[in-house]
Amino acid sequence: MQDELFSVAGQVVVVSGGSRGIGEALAAGFVQRGAQVIITGREAATIEKTASDISTGPLPAVPMVCDVAQLEDIDQLVKGVVSRFGRIDTLVNVAGVNKRKKVETFSPDEYDFILNVNLRGLFFLSQAVGKQMIAQKSGTIINIDSLNTNSPLKGVMPYAISKAGVSMMTRGMAAEWGEHRIRVNAIAPGFILTDMTNKLWSNPTMQKWGNDNTPLKRLGRVDDLVGTAIYLASQASAFMTGQVLYVDGGMSAGTLWPIEL
Ligand code: NAI
């Protein structure tokens, strides 16, 4: 049975940072459900390959270069999508970078690199797409947030600052743009195995810690996030905006004891 409530078929969906990891999985999830997906990233060859790999649905995914740290790229992307497809129904803000270091060792360049992509890039891409959504009087934005948004993990301070900002943008843009029928929500994933995190989680001590401290007793997979993204883009969440949904195997629900009671 095809459930219209959860349908994203025919939607024009832009995924920033769609070349691999979470962005690739979310893009593939939308393609499989009949959306017209545009995946973006910094390198043409990389996103062309990913677009070809995930094009298993009725509408092939289209690659368009956009470094979210470059305002001209954002402008070109939005103009390119609108001139080719006429509108943007859903923006999925996935592009993100991280560096693990002690607070006292971050250089200004490293700090700027992280904030420029995760925070400034997300703000100005949302702004550019938001203008189009205001004009078309509809749209949905889905931000990829993090567990770091509330309580920072050790060694990722600039990243945690950026993700706290993503939560604020989720609520703030939802509040300002509700009158234009634009909904803005976020997914805060738990620990998901991707190229960004593989090095950390290949450490057996970390793996045991992650499995033991997640109520569902495993680390996340990129596909674990697809259902929530489809829900947030579809009519099923029509009255939901400004919310951060944790998809983390229960990690944020409570603290587990290391001993049997
Ligand atoms: P990843 O490193 O595999 O993917 C990041 C994506 O962003 C890549 O496609 C990369 O090309 C793109 N990107 C980086 N800089 C960019 C720029 N300037 N312009 C355009 N695209 C750019 O990492 P992963 O794990 O898939 O992360 C995706 C998002 O999910 C990030 O925002 C990350 O903070 C977030 N996240 C990841 C978690 C995890 O455990 N893997 C947990 C919580 C959040």
The DSSP secondary-structure symbol of 17 reads T
Residue 260 located in a structural domain: no
Q: Is there a catalytic annotation at residue 111? A: no
How many angstroms from the chain centroid is the CA of residue 236? 19
pLDDT surpasses 90 at 33? yes
Residue 156 located in a structural domain: yes
CA 244/CA 231 separation, integer angstroms = 13
Q: Is 195 in the pocket of ligand 1 (CB under 6 A)?
A: yes
Domain count, the chain: 1
Rounded to the nearest angstrom, the distance between the alpha carbon of 24 and the centre of ligand 1 is 10
pLDDT surpasses 60 at 245? yes
- pLDDT-derived band of residue 57, with 50, 70 and 90 as boundaries? confident
Residue 259 located in a structural domain: no
Answer whether 0.85 is exceeded by the pTM: yes
Residue 184 located in a structural domain: yes
pLDDT tens readout for residues 190-241 = 999 999 999 999 999 999 999 999 999 999 999 999 999 999 999 999 999 9
pLDDT attached to residue 234: 98
pLDDT attached to residue 246: 98
- Residue 200 has phi, psi (to 5 degrees) of -60, -45
Rounded to the nearest angstrom, the distance between the alpha carbon of 22 and the centre of ligand 1 is 7
- CA neighbor of 23 nearest in space, from 57, 54, 69: 54
Residue 254 located in a structural domain: no
* Residue range of the domain that includes 53: 4-248
Residue 17 located in a structural domain: yes
Residue 255 located in a structural domain: no
Please give the average per-residue pLDDT across 78-92, as a whole number.
98
Report the number of secondary-structure helices (H) and strands (E) in the chain: 9, 7
Rounded to the nearest angstrom, the distance between the alpha carbon of 181 and the centre of ligand 1 is 28
Catalytically annotated residue among 111, 159, 231, 246: 159
Between 151 and 133, the higher pLDDT residue: 133
Instruction: Supply the CATH number for residue 74's domain.
Output: 3.40.50.720
Residue 261 located in a structural domain: no
Computed over every residue of the chain, the mean pLDDT equals 96
Q: Taking each helix axis as running N to C, give the angle between helix 108-115 and helix 157-177, from 0 to 180 degrees, rounded to the nearest 10.
A: 30
